[in-house]
Structure 1
Amino acid sequence: MAKKNLNEMSFLDHLEELRWLLVRSTIAVLILATVAFLISDYIFDVIIFGPTNANFVTYRFFCELSSQLGYSDLICVKEMPFIIQNTNMEGQINVLIWSCITAGFILAFPFILWEVWKFISPALYESEKKHAKIFIFSSSMLFFMGVLFGYYIIVPMSVNFFATFTISSVVKNQFSIDSYIGMVKTSVIACGLFFELPIIIYFLTKVGLVTPEFLRKYWKYAVIIILVVAAIVTPPDVVSQIIVTIPMLIIYEASILISKIVVKNQNKQNG
């Protein structure tokens, strides 16, 4: 049966399209989760638990940066005084399953975007439908950049801070595997989705829910929120907070620019 046009589709038709979007996306995630399971040793030993090693690339960079800035060893990580332990009978198997699913979601993200594009494309102009490849590529790149930012910046800073923080020498840091894996997943996925902000702002501007004036008006509040987030996820030193804050501010400014471009193009079309 031929696919119906947007004007011909009922509410139930839209729900049916959405259902198949979710089904195909879930299948893609599960397939890539299976691939992740086959290389789970590498994923855990090298990737997930990489930031627990004082020789991790980010820590070496901080040591070099600390030396270059004349901070001595202020932000140089030389040891990780903690252990990761499993305290639940089914803890490790649960971590294995959900970590593989998370990896599958990250790897399947471009396909999920393609499915989302097919779902919303009937509501777009013909000229806008031609930009499908640009949308998929730019959105995927932003997401993966966010994931890498979360993994190489946010996660190591968080691990370093919580590993070295103690209220007394009597208390030893022994983190549960659920706590550690949860922190890694949350940091990586949250950063990946935050880097999608320009794309989200693009569509919100298209439908008239956001304007460049609105984003600029509340710029100060956005800066405060970003600074608070940076202060929470980084150790209590200025250099680390700056490293996290600058990319987030750039993303927000890029969102304002994109919103301006969308409004300008809309004015030309209505011109």
Structure 2
Amino acid sequence: MPDKRIESSDTEMSFWDHFAALRPHLVRGSVAVVVVAVVAFLSKHFLIDTVLFGPKSADFPTNRLLLAAGQALSDLCDWINSWSGLSLSVNTEAFDVSNLDFRVINTQMAGQFNLHMKISMVTGLVLAMPYVLWEFWRFVRPALTPREIAATHRFVFWVSTFFFAGLLFGYFVLVPLSVSFFINYQASASIVNMIDVGQYLSTVIVASLASALVFQLPLLIYFLTRMGLISSAFLKRYRRHAFVALLVIAAIITPPDIFSLILVIIPLYGLYELSIRLSARIERRQAAAAAQNE
């Protein structure tokens, strides 16, 4: 069945024609978000107790790994000292997650209900994102050439893959590091931390989604290269500048300690190097296609 948006070449669609064509895609995408949000709302125990409050528990996988890593480094230093006569030591405070079983408080009448609604909607938006992107791609597909369709037919897959990879990195790495640092940080022994549940939720969401967006860097480079706005030579020439920029980004989204900074900058810079190789691969393909056409 022909798409209603395909008209004769001498006729252009008006704004309202485009909106009318976009409307069913918006409706289906919104329904998907609402359905997932309702399922998330009904899964209150798993969503809040297991997922949301997971990173604050000492039994969280990342926290157990950090504790084991700190102990392993301490044992390594002891072995080196006994073998060489040196006096090496390692500060294991960054690995200490023994005080993470804290309680959060609610100070608003509808605070817990609002928390339940907010995390349900965020879950709906995140989990339904691949379908929403697919609906968007279906909307723009009739306006694309066969070559453009071939180049973007995996758009939803790769965007979703990098998005969820970044989301998991943020949840399993950034969030535990942030929670551990800020909970164990003490400006004065007279100050008692009473963590508001809304602030805790914001930390989890912001750290996870920020990481998910940063992980879109290779795809951004991919499209900029295809449009001729950037090249692999440009990326290589400004590699040092990019490293400094990524270092600043890592410093913003991580707690202010060197261990967290190193743990985050490594995968971020790895994404940049991946972007260089991806850009070079696209340039080779474009050069081969141009030579074949000639």
TM norm. shorter chain > 0.5:
yes
For residues 263 and 106 of structure 1, do their structure 2 counterparts lie closer, same or farther at Cα, with a shift above 3 Å needed? same
- Do residues 246 (structure 1) and 266 (structure 2) align? yes
Q: In structure 1, how many angstroms separate the alpha carbons of the residues matched to 2:106 and 2:239?
A: 44
- Do residues 140 (structure 1) and 144 (structure 2) align? no
> In terms of Rg, which structure is larger?
2
- 1:76 corresponds to which of 71, 74, 96: 96
- 2:233 corresponds to which of 207, 213, 223: 213
Q: In structure 2, how many angstroms separate the alpha carbons of the residues matched to 1:125 and 1:256?
A: 27
Q: In structure 1, how many angstroms separate the alpha carbons of the residues matched to 2:241 and 2:128?
A: 34
- Do residues 34 (structure 1) and 54 (structure 2) align? no
For residues 134 and 205 of structure 1, do their structure 2 counterparts lie closer, same or farther at Cα, with a shift above 3 Å needed? same
- Do residues 59 (structure 1) and 78 (structure 2) align? no
- 1:10 corresponds to which of 4, 9, 13: 13
Q: TM-score, normalised by structure 2?
A: 0.83
Are 2:218 and 2:278, in contact at CA under 8 Å, matched by a contact in 1?
yes
Query: Tell me, what secondary structure is at the counterpart of 1:103?
Result: helix
Are 2:66 and 2:96, in contact at CA under 8 Å, matched by a contact in 1?
yes
- 2:196 corresponds to which of 156, 176, 183: 176
For residues 152 and 84 of structure 1, do their structure 2 counterparts lie closer, same or farther at Cα, with a shift above 3 Å needed? same
Aligned to 2:78: none
Aligned to 2:81: none
Which letter maps to 2:26?
L
**Bigger shift: residues 219-228 or 207-216:** 207-216
Are 2:166 and 2:215, in contact at CA under 8 Å, matched by a contact in 1?
yes
Are 1:83 and 1:173, in contact at CA under 8 Å, matched by a contact in 2?
no
Are 2:210 and 2:253, in contact at CA under 8 Å, matched by a contact in 1?
no
Q: In structure 2, how many angstroms separate the alpha carbons of the residues matched to 1:61 and 1:23?
A: 44
Q: In structure 1, how many angstroms separate the alpha carbons of the residues matched to 2:240 and 2:250?
A: 15
Q: In structure 2, how many angstroms separate the alpha carbons of the residues matched to 1:267 and 1:123?
A: 25
Which letter maps to 2:133?
L
Are 1:142 and 1:195, in contact at CA under 8 Å, matched by a contact in 2?
yes
**Bigger shift: residues 79-88 or 127-136:** 127-136
Query: Tell me, what secondary structure is at the counterpart of 1:69?
Result: helix
Q: In structure 1, how many angstroms separate the alpha carbons of the residues matched to 2:189 and 2:201?
A: 25
Aligned to 1:104: 124
**Aligned residues: percent identity?**
37
- Give the drift of 1:97: 1.0
Are 1:155 and 1:187, in contact at CA under 8 Å, matched by a contact in 2?
yes
**Bigger shift: residues 138-147 or 199-208:** 199-208
Query: Tell me, what secondary structure is at the counterpart of 2:128?
Result: helix
Query: Tell me, what secondary structure is at the counterpart of 2:103?
Result: strand
Alignment of 1:116-265 (within 5 A): 116-130=136-150, 134-265=154-285
CA shift digits 1:207-247 (9 cap, x unpaired) = 23333233333322321122223234434543332221111
Unpaired runs of 5+ residues, structure 1, are none
Q: TM-score, normalised by structure 1?
A: 0.89
Unpaired runs of 5+ residues, structure 2, are 75-89
- Do residues 45 (structure 1) and 49 (structure 2) align? yes
Aligned to 2:84: none
Which letter maps to 2:32?
A
**Bigger shift: residues 23-32 or 113-122:** 113-122
Are 1:205 and 1:259, in contact at CA under 8 Å, matched by a contact in 2?
yes
Q: In structure 2, how many angstroms separate the alpha carbons of the residues matched to 1:88 and 1:82?
A: 19
Q: In structure 2, how many angstroms separate the alpha carbons of the residues matched to 1:186 and 1:3?
A: 41
Are 1:81 and 1:163, in contact at CA under 8 Å, matched by a contact in 2?
no
For residues 2 and 235 of structure 1, do their structure 2 counterparts lie closer, same or farther at Cα, with a shift above 3 Å needed? closer
Are 1:81 and 1:164, in contact at CA under 8 Å, matched by a contact in 2?
no
Which letter maps to 1:248?
L
Q: In structure 2, how many angstroms separate the alpha carbons of the residues matched to 1:20 and 1:219?
A: 44
**Bigger shift: residues 233-242 or 219-228:** 233-242
Are 2:5 and 2:142, in contact at CA under 8 Å, matched by a contact in 1?
no
Aligned to 1:115: 135
- Give the drift of 1:142: 1.3
